[in-house]
Structures are given as structure tokens and as C-alpha cells.
């Protein structure tokens, strides 16, 4: 079946509270997708954001982001009051300061937990206890981690006192005994996040919209996963990374990309029968209808950079688990719906692994206009793939066209059948049509491109911090019936 969808993170939804949330704007966007004939809503990772506010650097591979919890829903439940709102957050038209949001929402959610306890609702307590029990495999470590982190002025675990830094069992138990209510409050935040998320997903599925999630291949150094399970990673005897993740230099980054994430100890994971990965993908398949695995080529071989480097120029390729991991996943979980982010440097070994898994890959049209008969050009995109104009890491279509060299602009216009005087917005429209027209089973268009926005709306510039990364938000008045009608017409014409 040919399908279409829109890429926009939950944080980019309009709201009066400085960040998009799992509230009414979520449901309104799903209604829009339904009217527009779409099948998928693709979102970015939903974990609690850490360093650089990136959803790809989170405090847990399993937790949800408390910043996305909807406040009006808590008010309706009687857990907080309208006058608890921070006036500086109200009616912010642009994305607000992440640090301010974090501290404000933490205070608000702590109050919500306190009221929850005082209410003494037996049925709700049972639901909370059930959530905690079912998710204990990650929730217990995460809640303790975040409580210690708060006591340590939010510093990374590598800076804690040795007994807690090294996860001494007696020290951690003693801390948990002394700070039980704070730990329970962190668990309550996750309970509310996933309760709200489950309602959104149920509503989406009822409307025929599937949630297309995103799973980063690596976890952040500042995470409960590495603190609680250091044996799974390439760390030295003092639990410091020996090598870190990234990408070698290429045409887009002369110094390469230094991500800094610790690398997996795949020998250990093989001996453990890849149990953590099976658990992670089982969990993801319950949250999402379709999951994109970021940096898929890293499972065949990964670029390892010495941990003391300031860039990614020096590094080495090391073999990953390859098909052994995916054979185990299929044996344990069956054919769960996955998409492989197979962009960047690919060799024959990676291509063979992708073919063996049977997962669709990705094609990005912005990569296709260098002058050769590229696999990213719409006419070459294979049926079993997901077609994009650009992803969250790319320029918007309008911004990309406007910044292109004259010769590239000419190639783009000629390919799309446009004249010399075609505007960037006209080019954007033609690119969307070409994506819909492509042989790809699925095409996903960024919301910024649907709205024909320039690079002021770009979501992320890879390997940079700041620059407005992760901050774009849609305005209420940008979502209208005309856009829905336009997209639905394309779905009908190209049988999506």
C-alpha cells in the first residue's frame, strides 16, 4: 500500500505554554492529518532531553519527556490549578527557554504528585502501581538517577561522589530509602507522560493515523542506562569512555561529526544474547506503529573516535553485531515494523545487511541533485523505501533551494519541469509532488515544507549546539483546511 505522512515533533506543535505538548493541539493535528489523507505522523525521539536539548541525547532510552506533559489536562484532573502557571510562559509565540521549562514543570509536576497522593484515589493508585511494576526494568534506575542528579545540581553522574558514581549497591539503596517520595515523584511524571501519550496514540489509530517513532542508536553518557549498566559500554576501569561515536569527515563536515556517545561493548552484548536490544525494541514496538532506527549502518560497523579528541578526523571502523542482532530480534519479536536510517557512508556490507533484514531504507531528495543519476532522485527511489525531501537534520526545501549554487538550481528546476523564474515556494511545491509521485511505498514531508518555510524554521544543524536547534514551533493559524485539501488531492492523484 502506498502511504504518505508528515514529519513534525510533538514539541513543534503550537501551544500557549512555550512548547508543544500532548494536549488538545495534538488531537487537532491528528484531525488535520486525517483530513489531509495522511497515514503517518512521524515524530522525533520522545525521551527526556539532556545536553543541548537534543531528543537524541536523553537521560534514558526508555523514559518520556516530562516537558511534553500537557498542563490543561492536569488542571482538568484537579492535580494543579490554573493559577499555578508561570506567567512568563503563557502565550509564548516562539519556543521558550528549555532550562526555564524544565525547572518550572518539575515544580508543577511535583505539586501534581503531592495532590495525587493526598487525593488517595484507590483506583488511580492501582493504575500507578501497575505502571511502575510493568516498567520497573527501566523506571527504577531512571527515577533514582534523576533524584540523585537533582541533589547534585543536575551534574552528570561522572561528577558524583564515588559511591554513587560507581553505582555501589549499598549506597544506592540507602539513597533510595532516604529519598523515597522524590523518587516516586519522578516515577509519577513518567506515569502521566505515558498515560497522556497512550490516549493520543489511541485517538490517532482510531482516526487511521499511525505513529512513526524514532529510536537513536546510541544513548547519552548522561543517562541512567550507562550509569546503571556500564558493562554494556566501552568504558575504562574508572567508567570513562575509551572511544565515542561519530562520523568521519565528508562533504558536509570537514571535521566529521563528533557525537560523543559511548559505544556499545558488542562482545558483552553478544554473550548476554542481545537481551537489552530485544527489550528496547519490544518496548518501542508497543509505543509506535513504525520505528525508525537511527544510524543503521552502525550495526554493521561503527566509527570509533578516541574519547579525548575534539573532532572526528581521527577514528577507526570497528565491526558491529551485523545480522546476528537482527536474527535474534526477529526470533524473539517477529517481524516488527522498522525503518532503517541508511544514510551517510554506505559500503557493500551495509547494503547486504539491509537487504538481509528486509527493512525499508530512506532516500532524501536534497541529496540527489549533485549532477549524477543519484539513488536519491525520485525516479530512482526503490519501492521498498521511505522518501523525504529532507529530514529534521536538513535545510527546509525553500532554504535549501535558495542557498544552492546556480548550476544546482538549474538542475533542480529542469528536473522538476520549472522555468527560470520559478520561486522557491514553487520549487518546494514541485518537490512535494515529486515525492508523492516517486515509487517509494511511503513519502514523508516535513511540516516546514508543507508550510513552505525557509531556514528560519530549520529543526537542527548536525554537530552544533544552540543555533535555535530543536526550537521551531508551528503557529496556530498555519494549520488550515486549504493545506489539508491540497495534500489530500496529492494522495488521490498518486494513490497514497
At a CB cut-off of 8 Å and minimum separation 6, what does 182 contact? Answer: 147, 150
Q: Which three cell numbers stand for residue 2?
A: 502506498
3 state SS of 86:
coil
Catalytic residue among 341, 342, 366, 429: 341
Please enumerate, as own/partner, the contacts of 175-183 that have beta carbons within 8 Å and a separation of 24 or more.
175/144, 175/147, 175/148, 176/144, 179/147, 179/151, 182/147, 182/150, 183/143, 183/144, 183/147
Distance CA 219, CA 140 (A): 18
| 270-287 exposure pattern, b = at least 16 Cβ within 10 A, e = fewer | eeeebebbbebbebbbeb
231 is catalytic: no
Per DSSP bridges, beta strands 243-247 and 3-7 are unpaired
Distance CA 425, CA 200 (A): 32
CA-nearest of 458, 481, 447 to 7 is 447
CA torsion angle 282 283 288 292 (round to 10): -70
236 is catalytic: no
| 354-379 exposure pattern, b = at least 16 Cβ within 10 A, e = fewer | beebebbbbbbbbbbbeeeeeebbbe
Greatest Cα pair distance, the chain, in angstroms, is 72
* Helix 122-134 / helix 136-151 crossing angle, nearest 10 deg: 100
Taking CA atoms, 480 is separated from 169, 274, 451, 483, in Å, by 55, 46, 10, 6
Catalytic residue among 294, 425, 441, 455: 294
Taking CA atoms, 154 is separated from 86, 149, 225, in Å, by 22, 5, 16
What single-letter DSSP state applies at residue 209? P
The CA-CA-CA angle for residues 74, 43, 146, to 5°, reads 55
Beta strands per DSSP E along 341-406: 361-364, 385-388
Catalytic residue among 393, 425, 441, 455: 393
Helix (H) or strand (E) holding 116: helix 98-119
- The answer to whether 377 and 365 are in contact (CB under 8 A) is yes
341 is catalytic: yes
Enzyme catalytic residues: 294, 341, 393
Amino acid at each position: 500500500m502506498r502511504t504518505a505522512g508528515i514529519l513534525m515533533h510533538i514539541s513543534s506543535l503550537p501551544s500557549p505554554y512555550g512548547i508543544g505538548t500532548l494536549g488538545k493541539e495534538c488531537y487537532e493535528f491528528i484531525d488535520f492529518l486525517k483530513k489531509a489523507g495522511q497515514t503517518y505522523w512521524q515524530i522525533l525521539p520522545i525521551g527526556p532531553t539532556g545536553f543541548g536539548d537534543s531528543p537524541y541525547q536523553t537521560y534514558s532510552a526508555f523514559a518520556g519527556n516530562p516537558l511534553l506533559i500537557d498542563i490543561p489536562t492536569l488542571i482538568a484532573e484537579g492535580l494543579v490549578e490554573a493559577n499555578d502557571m508561570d506567567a512568563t510562559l503563557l502565550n509564548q509565540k516562539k519556543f521558550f527557554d528549555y532550562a526555564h521549562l524544565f525547572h518550572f514543570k518539575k515544580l508543577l509536576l511535583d505539586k501534581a504528585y503531592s495532590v495525587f497522593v493526598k487525593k488517595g484515589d484507590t483506583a488511580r493508585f492501582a493504575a500507578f502501581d501497575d505502571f511502575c511494576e510493568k516498567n520497573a526494568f527501566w523506571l527504577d534506575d531512571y527515577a533514582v538517577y534523576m533524584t540523585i542528579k537533582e541533589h547534585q545540581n543536575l551534574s552528570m553522574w561522572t561528577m558524583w561522589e564515588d559511591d554513587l558514581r560507581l553505582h555501589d549497591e549499598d549506597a544506592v539503596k540507602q539513597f533510595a530509602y532516604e529519598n523515597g517520595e522524590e523518587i516516586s515523584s519522578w516515577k509519577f511524571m513518567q506515569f502521566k507522560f505515558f498515560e497522556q501519550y497512550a490516549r493520543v496514540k489511541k485517538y490517532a489509530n482510531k482516526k487511521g493515523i499511525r505513529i512513526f517513532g524514532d529510536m537513536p542508536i546510541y544513548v547519552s553518557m548522561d543517562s541512567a542506562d550507562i550509569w546503571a549498566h556500564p558493562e554494556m559500554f566501552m568504558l575504562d576501569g574508572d567508567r570513562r569512555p575509551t572511544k565515542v561515536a561519530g562520523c568521519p569527515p565528508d562533504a558536509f563536515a570537514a571535521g566529521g561529526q563528533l557525537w560523543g556517545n559511548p559505544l556499545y561493548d558488542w562482545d558483552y552484548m553478544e554473550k548476554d544474547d542481545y537481551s537489552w536490544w530485544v527489550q528496547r525494541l519490544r518496548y518501542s514496538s508497543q509505543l509506535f506503529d513504525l520505528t525508525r532506527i537511527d544510524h543503521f549502518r552502525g550495526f554493521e560497523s561503527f566509527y570509533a573516535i578516541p574519547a579525548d579528541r575534539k573532532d572526528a578526523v581521527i577514528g577507526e571502523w570497528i565491526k558491529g553485531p551485523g545480522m546476528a542482532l537482527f536474527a535474534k530480534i526477529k526470533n524473539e519479536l517477529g517481524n516488527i515494523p522498522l525503518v532503517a536510517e541508511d544514510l551517510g557512508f554506505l559500503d557493500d556490507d551495509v547494503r547486504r545487511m539491509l537487504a538481509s533484514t528486509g527493512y525499508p531504507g530512506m532516500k532524501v531528495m536534497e541529496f540527489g541533485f549533485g549532477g549524477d543519476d543519484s539513488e536519491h532522485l525520485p525516479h530512482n527511489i526503490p519501492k521498498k523505501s521511505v522518501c523525504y525531501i529532507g529530514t529534521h537534520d536538513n535545510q527546509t526545501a525553500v532554504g535549501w533551494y535558495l542557498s544552492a549554487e546556480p548550476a544546482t538550481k538549474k538542475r533542480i528546476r529542469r528536473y522538476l519541469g520549472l522555468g527560470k523564474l520559478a520561486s522557491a515556494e514553487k520549487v518546494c511545491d514541485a518537490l512535494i509532488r515529486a515525492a508523492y509521485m516517486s515509487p517509494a511505498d511511503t513519502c514523508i514531508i516535513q511540516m516546514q515544507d508543507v508550510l513552505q518555510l525557509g531556514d528560519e524554521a530549520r529543526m537542527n544543524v548536525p554537530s552544533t549546539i544552540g543555533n535555535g536547534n530543536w526550537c521551531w514551533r508551528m503557529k496556530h493559524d498555519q494549520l488550515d483546511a486549504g493545506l489539508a485539501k491540497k495534500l489530500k488531492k496529492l494522495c488521490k492523484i498518486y494513490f497514497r
